[in-house]
Amino acid sequence: MSAQPGDWPDRLFETLKRGGIRQVAYVPDAGHARLIDRCRADDEIRDVALTTEEEGVALAAGAWLGGDRAALLMQSSGVGNCINMLSLARACRFPLLMLITMRGEWEEFNPWQVPMGSITDPVLELCEAEIFRVLEPSEVAGIAQRAVQYVFGQERIAAVILSQQLIGKKVWTK
């Protein structure tokens, strides 16, 4: 079976599995739907649905205290919800792997997504997150793998930015 461009969430899932990720926290997001489904179906991964993204920053810290690797999935709007809680990862050097689907940057239907989408990268940089941006499906596995190594090898924060160009525009069926 050859890889299809739309299979990139499966590449992310495989990277998380290879990286030994045991806890996956998320606020549901259309761009992450397939990855969330894969994680929920996996017996070795504990999936934790959150009410807000900052909960996931704290969860990942607790996971690391106990020896588990965690990943946090969110949409770009969720980055704003995390800012103060990211102080926990920065002050204690907790490893934090964030996989972020972009909104508000490319063929965006909803103008209310633009304000946070337009400042996602600089906010993350101010919070000392290393940015790993993905534009093409073929890049997903390699870039995500580098981010995993960076986060858990150096106990640092990384944001894998899954561009709106990669995800494709949201389809409104109504």
Binding site for another protein (CB under 8 A): 22-23, 46, 48-52, 54-68, 70, 84-85, 87-88, 91-94
To another protein, the closest distance from the beta carbon of 91 in angstroms equals 4
> At closest approach, how far in Å is the CB of 24 from another protein?
11
Q: Which is nearer to another protein, 39 or 143 (CB)?
A: 39
Question: Minimum CB separation from another protein for residue 54, in Å?
Answer: 7
CA distance 43 to 138: 27
Contact (Cβ atoms closer than 8 angstroms) between residue 24 and residue 70: yes
Residue closest to 59 by CA, chosen among 24, 21, 107: 24
Contact 66, 127 (CB under 8 A): no
Closest CB to another protein among 3 and 92? 92
Nearer to another protein, 88 or 119 (CB): 88
Q: Is-contact 131 79, C-beta < 8 A?
A: no
Nearer to another protein, 84 or 118 (CB): 84
Which residues have CB under 8 Å from 86's CB, separation 6+? Answer: 57, 96, 127, 128, 129, 157
Reported residue count of the chain is 174
Minimal distance, residue 69 CB to another protein, in Å: 9
Indicate the residue among 14 and 47 with the shorter CB distance to another protein: 47
CB of 155 to another protein, least distance (A): 9
